[in-house]
Amino acid sequence: MAKEIGADRLGDFYKEGSLVRKRREWRGLADTMYDYSRWLKIMMTLGKFVLKPRNVKAMFRYRWMANYLAVPMMVDRHTQGLRGEYLRICHEEQDLVIDDVAKLLDSLFRGDRRIGNDKKFSDKVVLVDENEMTAVMMGFPTLKCLSRETPSTYVSVLLNQYAACHYIDVAQEYGLAGDVCPMPEAEAGVSIDDDAPILGACAIQCNTTCDGSLLGNGVISQRLEKENGIPVFQLAAPLRHREDDVQEYAAQEIRNAIAFIEKHTGVKWDWKAYFECAKRVNYATECRQEWLEMNRTPYPQVFGSNLALYTETNYMAICGRVAAFEKADKKITKLARQAYAKKKMAAKEYRHRAIVWGVQSHYYMDFLVWLLNCWGIVPLTDMLSMVSTKKLVTEDTPENREQAIYDMAWLTENMIMRNRTHGGYKVLLDELWEFVEMFNADMVILWEHMSCKALDGMHGLFEEKAREKGIPLVWVSHDLFDPRIISRQGVRDQINSFMRTVFNEEPIDPSLEVLPDEKSW
Amino acid sequence: MKDLKHLIFFENLLLEANNELVQKAQADGNICVAYACENTPEPLLNLPGCFSARLRAPRTGSLDISTYYMTSFLCEYSRALLERAIEGGYNFADAVITPDGCSMMNRCIENMELLNTLGKGKDKFFFEYMEIPMKADDNGLNLYVVQCRNHILKPLSEKYGIDISDEAIRKAIADHNRVCELIRAIGDFRKEENPRITGYEFNVITLATYVAPKYLLLDKLEETLEELKTREPDEKNAFRARVLVVGSEVDDTDFVKLIEDAGAYVCADRFCYGSLPGRNPIILNDEEDPLTQICRAYMNRGECPRYMNTDKMDHRRIYVDELAKEYKADGIIYQQMKFCDPWAYEKMMGSTILRNTYGYPVLSVDRPYSIGVSGQMTTRVQAFVESIEIKKIQRGDANG
Amino acid sequence: MATFLHVIKVIVIVIAALFALTFTVYIFNLDMKLTAAIYPWLNKQYDKVKRDQHL
């Protein structure tokens, strides 16, 4: 029990065979009281949520809802070992994401034909994919843009590492090959298992990150359109998104998507609302750029899962549509500046500066915190956080309205992950080494998501380039949503053996090297 | 049945990517444009002065090097192509044009480029990547036209001085259609109750039209059609069931042979590299420019699972049902190359829908790129044939 | 005055008791231990839900 960073043996909090940890950390009086107060806030958010009978009903209907029992633990996992500003930044982000997800769940169940069955509300709902850029909803402030897959699979796996396994098995029982990406596979499994809320005036699907994601949508739309009578628009964003000769096509897809939503909801596009959102997107971009700028120095402040998870939510799912995220951006930037001015560090020792590339293991998102605490590796930035920094037009003029269509198209093409997995080797392979130089990194941690074909297809060339540049590169294999293939310890072991054999180093916190968390949430 | 006169000639063309006719066409002064994806409009690669060769890796052995570059999780087709490229097997090509049809094909060609595997000693050699539509609509058509102009016609004209005028395109389509008509006519014999051509023979002939310059094949195709008109089938049909094969890339004639050796006649080929719809003629009108018409034909007929709009998705299963009826299939084999994402999903959807909604017996299998003699696959097909026979007996329409 | 002080005292005691209780739950992770006990039971519940499982 210690106030100082790194004084605790963090591995001692784990208990063999248990879903949860023995106790929470004592971080010194001020930080513990702060963490406790935020815990109280989360409990209140959850309490408010279960006060509504429809949410309790949903809890007993949808299998994935059981994972939400683990919300406080997810926050604990991400705040592990953190003190001061880092702890506060993490809470600002995590608590806001939790609040946002709670609202999303509440809305889903309100409109769900099985649960709340509020038809009037449901008629104002536009369903979107889990991994979809919501730019096309920026001009529909009176409509609810809801994703069913976000709470059922995406967030669920963040909460409980085994959350998707049931749905993966269901999809495979229906003949889906076991080698496809488990994320769209699980989403398809939710649909097949009749475990998705049914609501909405219409749905916008998108060819998001990969072939699997595109095809998984086909399974979902089969039921959505043919059984539930919810019309679906498939928004086809070009794959070669850096090419000029695809932009007109991309823009027309946006125009068509907007027209589709207008037709099925009876609501007209609102330019004023759009430009308001665009301002917030620009502000989020400025903040992210400032954080990344700090990460280039010896005193990075917003990094690791603090950067990754928040960027994913704010950039794509929020896309300027929720004012609360602008406030959070401000607070986080203030805290980061404060810590930077004092040259503060998030761990007692920074040994290596790493760029984390590839697609992270979703069932082990707090791995980045582990890297820092166990081995002193600072994950300066990650592939999913290196998204578009293009400024959107914000003034409402006839020319800008036309440009805005292209801006939305650009954002849609440059969704998280797809901006690297599609678009040719330059965005995936070449730009990695530009970032290594830019961030003054001394190592690359390369997630090898086994069933991500776009990444696997560059395996050898990543290695060749690393050798050519003299940058140590460590592969960390995983199967994104399925810890039965490679466990969390399996993930850690790949780093452990690399650090011991290649760098000949000992861990900063040896208690973290092997953790009994195989059964844990 | 008496052997087809040119079967060995066609089979020999499939033994090497750089086959006899490719060499002859290049010796005639034509340039060879290699491609890999069925969504590349073939007539545009066959303008006067150039010809297309769709990439295959016949007699594939070890995939060690390509597996290092792309891991064992990419489909064997993409790995086999890269391996062959690294071995120098495609050095004959003067250009490679590829759409981002699927991630694996894209990565395969990118690896070929980055590893400098092609174009040695060819100053004008180029790689071109292109975007192709994922939906069949007006916007998709506009994209297709722009991409074909920028990534096929423009580089062919600028680098090699190929005539890309409307007249040249119309001529290329006419030549393409002649081959398609011949393949169609040959393939129609498969509809007979006791067919005079085996699925294997047809598969060999069709494949040859993808990998060899068409103008050098025409006489052999015409002769084969004439020969078939009078060819006598064996008195007793050796096959116990008729199956339609649907699915991902198949350029391995052993696969069709294995199915037929197990007792199932392959009456129709709805797979990538097959004739349905790959060898549908492109009907042109005189009013619209031919480029737009080619793109529309490719977009509308495309049955590749990368097409994501609902009409297209539904049509994939409707089309299989139509073919099964037209070619009198007793059952359907859905096959997918291991690790192919698009067909992993389409195989699940198609096989379930064709079985449950349309009522066909369906066998769903995954397979390696090069099947050789697979006991497992033979057993599965044999069991499928038996199940079809049992159903026939139960329906009371078996002749035994 | 005495009543006021009494009320204040009661409030302070209640707040202190609430704090002691919630802080104990917090620091010993009792909230998570409770939900971990509920979780297996909930999963059995889901198996009983009637579903129209199909593509």
Task: Give the mean pLDDT per block of 10 residues along chain A (521 residues).
Answer: 80 94 95 97 94 96 96 95 95 93 96 97 95 94 96 96 97 95 96 97 92 93 95 96 96 98 98 97 97 97 90 92 94 97 94 96 95 97 95 97 98 94 96 97 96 95 97 96 96 98 96 96 95
The span from the CA of A311 to the CA of A305, in Å, is 9
Nearest CA-CA partner of A518 in A493, A501, A499? A493
Q: Which residue of B has its CA nearest to C54?
A: B352
The span from the CA of B36 to the CA of B81, in Å, is 9
If one compares B198 and B1, the residue with the highest pLDDT of the two is B198
Partners of A181 on chain B (C-beta within 8 Å) are: 341
pLDDT for position A1: 57
Q: What is the pTM of this model?
A: 0.95
Q: What is the ipTM of this complex?
A: 0.95
Partners of B108 on chain A (C-beta within 8 Å) are: 457
The span from the CA of B84 to the CA of B94, in Å, is 16
* Cβ within 8 Å, pair B308-A205: yes
| B359 pLDDT higher than 90 | yes
pLDDT for position B397: 63
The span from the CA of A413 to the CA of A247, in Å, is 9
The span from the CA of B77 to the CA of B345, in Å, is 18
* Cβ within 8 Å, pair B110-A215: no
pLDDT for position B373: 79
Paired with B242 in beta bridges are B265
Of C29, C38, C54, the CB nearest to A21: C29
Give the neighbours of chain C: at least 3 Cβ pairs within 8 Å: A, B
The span from the CA of A412 to the CA of A207, in Å, is 10
Q: What is the mean pLDDT of residues C44-49?
A: 94
Handedness of CA A500, A502, A504, A508 (dihedral sign): negative
C55 and chain B: CB distance < 8 Å anywhere? yes
Residue B400: band (very low, low, confident or very high) from pLDDT cuts 50, 70, 90: very low
Given a contact cutoff of 8 angstroms between Cβ atoms, the answer to whether B152 and B172 are in contact is no
pLDDT for position C1: 77
Radius of gyration of chain B (CA): 21
| B1 pLDDT higher than 90 | no
What pLDDT, in 10s, does the model give residues B250-300?
A: 999 999 999 999 999 999 999 999 999 999 999 999 999 999 999 999 999
Specify the DSSP class assigned to residue B181.
Answer: H
* Cβ within 8 Å, pair C33-A20: yes
What pLDDT, in 10s, does the model give residues A86-117?
A: 999 999 999 999 999 999 999 999 999 999 99
Residue B398: band (very low, low, confident or very high) from pLDDT cuts 50, 70, 90: low
B147 and chain A: CB distance < 8 Å anywhere? yes
Partners of B346 on chain A (C-beta within 8 Å) are: 215, 218
Q: Can you read off the two tokens belonging to residue A31?
A: 């930080």
Of A24, A59, A63, the CB nearest to C26: A24
Plot region of A117 (φ>0 → left; ψ -120 to 50 → alpha; else → beta): left
**Min Cα–Cα distance to chain A from C50, Å:** 9
Residue B43: band (very low, low, confident or very high) from pLDDT cuts 50, 70, 90: very high
One-letter amino acid identity for A191? Answer: S
Question: Looking at chain B from residue 26 to 85, which residues have their Cβ under 8 Å from any Cβ of chain A?
Answer: 68-71, 73-74, 78
Suggest the residue from C15, C21, C23, C32 to mutate for an interface test with chain A (most A CBs closer than 10 A): C32
Burial class (CB in 10 A: 0-12, 13-18, 19+), B251: buried
Neighbour count for residue B121 (Cβ, 10 Å): 6
